[in-house]
Amino acid sequence: MAETTYDVVIIGGGPGGYNAAIRAGQLGLKAACVDKGVNGGATLGGTCLNVGCMPSKALLHASELFEMAAKDFAGLGIEVAPKLNLVQMMQQKAESVSALTKGVEFLFKKNKVDWIKGAGKITGPGKVEVGGQTLAAKAIVIATGSEPAGLAGVTVDQKRIVDSTGALSLPEVPKSLVVIGAGIIGLELGSVWRRLGAKVTVVEFLDRITPGADAELAKALQRSLTKQGMEFRLGQKVTGAKTSKTSVALTVEPVAGGAAETIEADYVLLAIGRRPYTEGLGLESVGITPDKRGFIETDHWQTSAEGVWAIGDVTLGPMLAHKAEEEAVACIETIAGHVGHVNYGVIPSVIYTWPEVAWVGKTEEELKAEGRAYKAGKFPFTANSRAKINHETEGFVKVLADAVTDEVLGVHMIGPQVSEMVGEYCVAMEFRAASEDVARTCHPHPTRSEALKQAAMGVEGWTMQA
Ligand code: FAD
Ligand code: NAI
């Protein structure tokens, strides 16, 4: 058996794995990235590029414009009668995804990373086997990501009952779609299909949507999505599903107890979270035992086995591409003898619905639970001139700052394009800025970003434009 020696072998080619490989190449380490592709495909990029962030955003963008053309253009004096071409919408998604995965391939070549196709298995300290080939590695980085979580009684067949991967490629617009789980996937993909014409009902176990988001944002989002036609059934659990050729009958019961009922839909999307993926990885060969939920525990990305590291969705923390990317860089820099660092307090979250929701730092609920004294400043987009002239006034920005030091502790926003605005506060928080620092920073006019400044001014009670 041929054996090649590497400084670092990375298992998994998603945002964790491919960024680790590129950084390793940049730092002059001899690196290989072993990836088996997602869903039978043979492209780099993992969940994010192939069946996650990117295809979902492609459909969100296209469906958003479709709905705007149908509902908002006339008010701007543009008369059109949009007609859906679902095949083309899927095609443009596939083309963008393909360009992105090829981009990662190019970056591997540029940084002299060997891309080894196939399933990698750790067979002992410093050894990874792929399709009969053994790679010797001074360091192994596990970046094998996650997969959709299942639900007893609801079998995903990718025909009538789909997970996020199936929901990204439905062959038709459902007449009715039931989404199980009012989390990020459910609301984003539910939005896509509602905009294209489906009647969407979301069944959620908890009595609120988007757990983890600030409660005020979650309420505002639910109100807005309800107004758009999405129906929410909170505090309900799905106990079974019967599938026929053309529809699904779901049995739903109130969590608090009460009579069960049946909801019929032609498609069901199961989106109740994701779980870490370590199948066939050979963890036992190096003595790693995942925690109860299957996550690999780490200390500064180092696992309990010497020379074996882990990053991204397979480890604890938010399951987000940018979290995986930060960990990739920090992990490789540590392996290379530098000091790697991730500020877990400043990892932003975004829900790409309309309006978008974005936040970073602590929620009001978290600050209250910690007993931390804070002040809040809030600014509505109804008072923002750019939002007003664009007829997109929904939402607000809320800034939470320490009552004594004025340090920004959390920022929560809902409104069109807030995904592009939250980064400003990430930078501010990395520099441990006070709300006054943002309040006294000149922002361009007219932009939505002025709402960020006005909300910061609100912390000290001198918001001027509302
Ligand atoms: P992954 O991207 O899952 O990559 C792991 C890779 O490892 C895969 O290619 C897998 O096939 C491979 N692999 C696994 N085991 C082996 C093995 N033994 N040998 C070889 N290869 C192996 N996050 C965001 O930040 N923003 C978003 O907008 C966003 N949207 C999303 C939308 C959807 C529908 C979904 C499902 C997820 C979304 N996410 C989003 C989450 C994001 O995709 C993940 O957080 C991210 O992909 C995690 O990166 P990773 O590198 O840890 O793992
Ligand atoms: P999620 O954790 O965001 O939401 C799952 C929802 O399902 C929760 O509200 C939960 O209470 C509910 N739930 C759990 N069990 C249930 C049950 N039996 N019946 C009804 N409801 C139930 O998970 P989701 O939406 O599947 O997404 C997985 C992860 O993927 C996200 O947490 C996020 O990390 C990532 N993601 C990120 C995106 C982004 O950054 N924009 C987009 C999509 C996914």
Pocket test for ligand 2, best of 205, 325, 352 (most atoms within 8 A of CB): 205
Count of the separate structural domains present in the chain: 3
Q: What residue numbers bound the domain in which 244 lies?
A: 161-272
For residues 282 and 143, membership in a common domain is answered with yes
Same domain, 409 and 448: yes
- Per the domain annotation, does 155 fall within a domain? no
178 Rama sector, left if φ>0, alpha if ψ -120 to 50, beta otherwise: beta
Q: From the CA of 51, how far away is ligand 1's center (Å)?
A: 8
- Both 44 and 143 in one domain: the answer is yes
255 lies in the same domain as 289 = no
Ligand 1 atom 45: residue of nearest CA: 320
Q: Are residues 332 and 388 in the same domain?
A: no
Residue 277 CA: which ligand is closest? Answer: 1
Select from 345, 364, 382 the last residue of a domain.
345
Per-residue pLDDT of 108-131, as tens digits, reads 999 999 999 999 999 999 999 999
Place of tokens 């990662």: 104
Q: How many whole angstroms from 49 Cα to the centroid of ligand 1?
A: 8
- Name the β-bridge partners of 270: 180
Report the separation in Å between the CA atom of 185 and the middle of ligand 2, taken as the mean of its atom positions: 6
Torsion of the alpha carbons at 186, 192, 194 and 196, rounded to the nearest 10: -160
| Residue 456 dihedral angles phi and psi, to the nearest 5° | -65, -40
Distance 436 CA to ligand 1 centre (A): 38
In this structure, the strands spanning 396-402 and 408-415 are antiparallel
* Ligand 1 atom nearest to 57, measured from its CA: 28
| 153 assigned to some structural domain | no
pTM exceeds 0.95 for this model: yes
Predicted confidence at residue 91, as pLDDT, reads 98
| 83 and 130 co-located in one domain | yes
| pLDDT tens per residue across span 228-277 | 999 999 999 999 999 999 999 999 999 999 999 999 999 999 999 999 99
CA of 429 to the centre of ligand 1 (A): 27
Residues with CB under 6 A from ligand 1: 11-17, 34-38, 46-48, 52-53, 56, 119-120, 143-146, 164, 185, 277, 280-281, 312-313, 319-322, 324
Three-class secondary structure of residue 416 per DSSP = coil
On whether both 116 and 43 belong to a single domain, the answer is yes
Nearest CA to ligand 2 atom 15: 272
Task: Please tell me the distance from the alpha carbon of residue 363 to that of residue 347, in angstroms, as a whole number.
Answer: 13
Ligand 2: residue whose CA is nearest its atom 28: 273
40 band by pLDDT with thresholds 50, 70 and 90: confident
Say if residue 171 is preceded by a cis peptide, omega within 30 of 0. no
Assess contact for 160 and 266: CB atoms under 8 A. Answer: yes
Residues 264 and 294 both lie in one domain: no
Closest residue to atom 50 of ligand 1, CA basis: 145
pLDDT of residue 167 exceeding 90, the answer is yes
Q: How far, in Å, from the CA of 187 to the mean position of ligand 2?
A: 9
H/E run at residue 48: helix 46-51
Same domain, 289 and 369: no
- Is there a domain that residue 152 lies in? no
Residues 6+ apart with CB under 8 A from 174: 193, 198, 265, 266, 267
Is position 72 within any domain?
Answer: yes
Same domain, 329 and 387: no
The last residue of a domain, from among 272, 291, 325:
272
Q: Is 412 helix (H, G, I), strand (E, B) or coil?
A: strand
What residue owns the CA closest to ligand 1's atom 26? 53
pLDDT at 2 over 70: no
* H helix intervals, 178-266: 184-195, 215-227
**Res. 411 pLDDT band, cuts 50 70 90:** very high
Q: Kindly state the DSSP code that residue 292 receives in the 8-state scheme.
A: T
Ligand number, closest to the Cα atom of 151: 2
Residue 355 has pLDDT above 60, yes or no: yes
Domain stop point among 272, 299, 318: 272
Share of the chain above pLDDT 70, in %: 99
Spacing, Cα 360 to ligand 1 middle (Å): 21
Q: Is residue 312 part of a domain?
A: yes
CATH number, domain containing residue 200: 3.50.50.60
In a domain? residue 154: no
Distance 188 CA to ligand 2 centre (A): 10
Contact between residue 451 and residue 381 where contact means Cβ atoms under 8 Å apart: yes
Residue nearest to atom 7 of ligand 1 (CA): 12
Instruction: Name the residue of 48, 270, 325 whose CB sits within 8 Å of the most ligand 1 atoms, as the mutation to test its pocket.
Output: 48
- Widest CA span in the chain: 72
Q: Which residues are catalytic?
A: 445
Name all residues whose Cβ lies below 6 A of ligand 2.
151, 180-186, 188, 203-206, 211, 237-238, 271-274, 318-320, 350-352
CB count in 10 Å sphere of residue 213: 24
CATH for 403 = 3.30.390.30
Q: Same domain for 62 and 142?
A: yes
Average pLDDT score over the chain: 97
pLDDT reading at 1 higher than 90:
no
Give the ligand at the shortest distance from the Cα of 17.
1
Residue 466 domain-assigned (yes or no): no
> Can you tell me which atom of ligand 1 is nearest the CA of 148?
36
Residues 137, 175, single domain; the answer is no
Specify whether the CB–CB gap between 164 and 51 falls below 8 A. yes
Q: What is the pLDDT of residues 288-345, one digit of tens each?
A: 999 999 999 999 999 999 999 999 999 999 999 999 999 999 999 999 999 999 999 9
Task: Please say if the pLDDT value at position 98 is more than 70.
Answer: yes
Ligand 2: residue whose CA is nearest its atom 38: 184
Ligand nearest to the CA of 270: 2
